Amino acid sequence: MIIKKLSLYNFKNHSEKKFEFSPQINCFVGNNGAGKTNILDALHYLSVGKSFLGNTDFNNIKRDEDFFTIDAEVQNEDSEDIIKISQPKEAKKIIKKNDKSYDRLADHIGYLPSVMISPYDSNLISDSGESRRRFLDSMISQTDSEYLFDLIQYQKTVQQRNALLKYFAKNRTWDRDSLEIYDAPITKFGTGIFVKRRNFVERLGPIVQNFYRIISGGKETVSVQYQSDLSEGFDSAQPDRTFRHLLTESLERDRMLTYTSKGIHKDDLLFEMDHVLIKKTGSQGQQKSFLISLKLAQMSLVKELTKKTPILLLDDIFDKLDDTRVSQLIELVNQESFGQIFITDTHRERTESVVKKINEESIIFEV
């Protein structure tokens, strides 16, 4: 997949910008605050329909404007498609492919897979499990068209169950039969999500280990472990049984807490080095090496599962990584035959030097 052209209108700090890209390497250079990362964020929108920075769609509309639009011309194996994302101030976001709107966002996810490597990746180690769940969900959604739909249905049902638990507490009443209406959909969608998450992480872990071994020289052993309430006692022959048992077992606890305390919405990823959480024992350099390994593994696995080469978005990494890790990253990018690459940097000379090492056709844009 190649993004040939990109047009931005009222997106963040860009009133109007147009780009024609190289099929290989594209660099955006300029001072801090010029809007380089915003361009990468627009490319991320094309892939997954939302900001990688976590901003709401409305907050990405340029100040004092009524909408933003992102247009792109995308070349795939046998055709060219026009992708358009528009967000009016007072209406729902619209994503179109060749002038036809998607009925649901899940139908677009996976069309243009992407991987972002940025300074914000450190949050995956330091933040709560929620950020790691989002990361895992984003990876799987790009490889499985039904996963995001199931996840949305699960989250909606849990919210409805929680609202009923709060209603019972507020009104000092209780109706177990009404609450159990939500058990079937929670169990159905939750069990399917659990199985897909578990299987994905089982494939991801060894790839992370391999990349880390290359980057670190094999000094430490790292792992990615999937942690879930459903893991203990899970019966593949009766997959729904474990979740039903969890809901029944935690019913009185849920009643006191007024929310659903057990389920796949509490899942987490454990990033370990030599069997200890990397955030506890890993140096800053080791953590950076792990995160690069994790993202390269993501790219490799998404490519394997979708048969599409993801676009690679490298945001400001040359300021945040030392020269050794930059060289290792560039070498691995070369070896893995990654596809179209987009890079931001504050120093043109440094960017030109890095691009020469990759030895591919490139365009440098001043922002």
- Binding site annotation covers 110? no
- Binding site annotation covers 190? no
- Binding site annotation covers 187? no
Supply angle C-alpha 132, 135, 141, rounded to 5.
140
- Evaluated on CA atoms 122, 126, 127, 131, the torsion sign reads positive
Q: What is the bridge-based pairing of β-strands 80-88 and 114-117? A: unpaired
- The number of C-alpha atoms within 13 Å of 185 and in the hemisphere containing its C-beta is 16
- Binding site annotation covers 162? no
Contact 105, 49 (CB under 8 A): yes
Contact 228, 264 (CB under 8 A): yes
Residues listed for the chain: 367
- Binding site annotation covers 210? no
- Binding site annotation covers 36? yes
- Binding site annotation covers 34? yes
User: E-assigned strands of 218-275?
Assistant: 222-227, 268-273
Reduce the DSSP state of residue 268 to 3 states and report it.
strand
DSSP state of 60: G
- Binding site annotation covers 37? yes
Annotated binding residues for ATP: 30-37
Annotated binding residues: 30-37
